């Protein structure tokens, strides 16, 4: 079912708005990730959609109908929260059956539906256990089955795996994606973990201080961030500031050619994966923008991150393949070439990316 949020404001106090004029639309069958730092308004927004809270102003529509006055149990939404929130004195079976009993379904129907869901969440055989006899991951799968039992058309998940180990969390998120695809439900997945949002969602909605910064595909928010905030929050980022002088922006020892008036104060962001390092003394084409020294290497599993100190003291990060690290180690002098750079005006709004080219050493 489609969900529309129109000019929604939610104030808890007179001074600040937890949500400030938020407008967007989720299409039927989409999986949207809400991504933002703690306190940015993700849970508030989710609760408004679920009907657990009311907007101060603005409208929420589900399948085109305004639902501001519709109570949660009649909105057709299933919700899973971070803290397992299972009924502790009830078995797995009874937890999952809870919503069906509220709907006054008959016994045979409930039995069959609970068993189907147990299979879906891969917990068959554990129906007689109590919540304290489950691992964190299992408990969250029960919470998911319970939310899905009444066949909601919208599934809302608020940091469902935040308290679970990285490896299991990764498996669980893949598996939520699979369930979402199988049952064709419209879903919202809240997380403060950018990797999780980029990996699971069709589109990512980035929040900052109660405002929607950007709604786009994972590729869009990563490669074409609309704001400095999004560029820094999504993905690894090197950043710096400078002032335009005669068509050039000087950031430490790096110089970028820009199509902006002299005196403009701009910010730049470039990804470690867009920084190329080459040994000094080797070939030195026009593509070297500055020189520096590798001061630290961090192993990241399939690649390394090099901390590089440039002339003048500015530090940046660059990604290195294991092959490259064989030739370049801590203490190596390197040439630096920035392949791609994002630029932002003094208010943090993105300038067109074609605008900037790294042009060589100062
Ligand atoms: N019931 C409430 N009363 C007062 N302030 C609240 C309440 N709920 C949330 N807030 C405030 O609203 C802002 C957004 O909170 P929240 O939506 O929980 O953020 P997130 O889920 O992104 O961490 C925060 O500043 C928080 O302190
Ligand atoms: Mg929250």
Portion of the chain with pLDDT greater than 70, in percent: 95
Q: Which residues contact 258 (CB under 8 A, 6 or more apart)?
A: 244, 247, 248, 249, 264, 266, 343, 351, 355, 356
Ligand 1 pocket list (CB less than 6 A): 12, 18, 36, 38-44
Share in percent of the chain as helix, strand, coil (round to 5):
30, 35, 35
Three-class secondary structure of residue 82 per DSSP: coil
47 CA: nearest ligand 1 atom: 17
| 290-299 and 333-338 beta bridge pairing | antiparallel
Query: Residue holding tokens 């595909």?
Result: 217
Distance 200 CA to ligand 2 centre (A): 18
Whole-prediction pTM = 0.90
Q: How many other β-carbons are positioned within 10 Å of the β-carbon of residue 331?
A: 8
Q: Which residues contact 289 (CB under 8 A, 6 or more apart)?
A: 254, 255, 336, 337, 338, 358, 359, 360, 361
Ligand 1, atom 7: closest residue by C-alpha: 12
Q: Packing angle between helix 92-102 and helix 107-120, nearest 10 degrees?
A: 130
DSSP string for residues in 263-276: T-EEEEEE-GGGEE
Q: Which residues contact 173 (CB under 8 A, 6 or more apart)?
A: 161, 189, 196, 199, 200
Residue 360 has what pLDDT?
63
Question: Which listed ligand is nearest to 81 at the C-alpha?
Answer: 2
The CA distance from 190 to 54, in Å, is 19
Query: Residue holding tokens 């917990």?
Result: 123
Q: How many other β-carbons are positioned within 10 Å of the β-carbon of residue 201?
A: 25
Distance 54 CA to ligand 1 centre (A): 13
Distances in Å between the alpha carbon of 240 and those of 4, 71, 254, 311, 338?
37, 48, 10, 15, 13
DSSP string for residues in 285-298: -TT--EEEEEEEEE
The CA distance from 78 to 73, in Å, is 9
34 CA: nearest ligand 1 atom: 22
Sheet holding 65-66, edge to edge: 17-26, 3-11, 57-62, 65-66
pLDDT digits (tens, 9 = 90+) for 74-126: 999 999 988 768 999 999 999 999 999 988 999 999 999 999 999 988 899 99
* Short-list 334, 318, 211, CA closest to 280: 334
Residue 244 near residue 260, CB atoms below 8 Å: yes
Distance 57 CA to ligand 2 centre (A): 21
CATH superfamily for domain 239-361: Nucleic acid-binding proteins (2.40.50.140)
Distance 161 CA to ligand 2 centre (A): 12
Do the domains spanning 3-232 and 239-361 agree at the CATH topology level?
A: no
Q: Which residues contact 24 (CB under 8 A, 6 or more apart)?
A: 4, 5, 205, 212, 215
Ligand 1, atom 11: closest residue by C-alpha: 18
* Short-list 191, 219, 217, CA closest to 204: 217
Torsion sign, CA atoms 111, 112, 117, 120: positive
Distance 156 CA to ligand 2 centre (A): 12
pLDDT digits (tens, 9 = 90+) for 293-305: 999 999 988 899 9
Question: Which listed ligand is nearest to 19 at the C-alpha?
Answer: 1
Buried b vs exposed e over 67-87: b needs ≥16 C-beta within 10 Å? Answer: beeeeeeebbbbbbbbebebe
As to burial, measured by CB atoms within 10 angstroms (0-12 exposed, 13-18 middle, 19+ buried), residue 128 is exposed
Distance 223 CA to ligand 1 centre (A): 29
Query: What CATH number does the domain located at 3-232 have?
Result: 3.40.50.300
Residue 205 has what pLDDT?
98
Q: Candidates 11, 18, 49: which one to mutate for ligand 1, based on the most atoms within 8 Å of Cβ?
A: 18
Q: Where exactly are the structural domains of the chain?
A: 3-232, 239-361
Element containing residue 221 per DSSP (H, E) = helix 218-223
Ligand 1, atom 9: closest residue by C-alpha: 44
Residue 68 near residue 76, CB atoms below 8 Å: no
Residues of the chain with pLDDT under 70: 84, 281-287, 353-362
């Amino acid at each position: 079912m489609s969900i529309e949020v129109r000019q929604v404001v939610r104030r808890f106090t007179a001074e600040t708005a937890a949500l400030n004029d938020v407008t967007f639309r989720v299409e039927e069958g989409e999986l949207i990730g809400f991504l933002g730092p703690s306190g940015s308004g993700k849970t508030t927004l989710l609760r408004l959609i679920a009907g657990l809270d009311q907007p101060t102003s603005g409208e929420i529509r589900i399948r085109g109908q305004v639902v501001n006055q519709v109570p949660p149990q009649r909105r057709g939404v299933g919700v899973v929260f971070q803290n397992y929130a299972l009924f502790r004195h009830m078995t797995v079976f009874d937890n999952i059956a809870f919503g069906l009993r509220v709907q006054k379904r008959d016994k045979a129907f409930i039995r069959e539906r609970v068993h189907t869901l147990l299979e879906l969440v891969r917990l068959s055989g554990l129906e007689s256990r109590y919540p304290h006899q489950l691992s964190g991951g299992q408990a969250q799968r029960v919470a998911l089955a319970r939310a899905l039992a009444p066949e909601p058309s919208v599934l809302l998940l608020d940091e469902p795996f935040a308290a679970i180990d990285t490896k299991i969390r990764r498996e669980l998120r893949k598996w939520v994606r699979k369930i979402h695809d199988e049952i064709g439900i419209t879903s919202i997945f809240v997380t403060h973990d950018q990797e999780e949002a980029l990996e699971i969602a069709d589109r990512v909605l980035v929040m900052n201080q109660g405002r929607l910064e950007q709604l786009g595909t994972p590729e869009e928010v990563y490669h074409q961030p609309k704001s400095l905030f999004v560029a820094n929050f999504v993905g690894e980022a090197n950043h710096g500031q400078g002032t335009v002088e005669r068509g050039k922006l000087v950031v430490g020892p790096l110089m970028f050619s820009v199509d902006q008036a002299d005196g403009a104060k701009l910010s730049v962001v470039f990804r470690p994966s867009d920084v190329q390092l080459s040994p000094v003394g080797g070939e030195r084409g026009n593509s070297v923008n500055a020189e520096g020294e590798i001061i630290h290497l961090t192993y990241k599993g399939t690649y390394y991150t090099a901390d590089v100190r440039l002339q003048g003291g500015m530090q940046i990060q660059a990604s290195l393949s294991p092959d490259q690290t064989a030739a370049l180690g801590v203490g190596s002098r390197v040439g630096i070439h920035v392949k791609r750079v994002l630029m932002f005006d003094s208010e943090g709004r993105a300038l067109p990316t074609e605008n900037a080219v790294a042009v060589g050493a100062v």
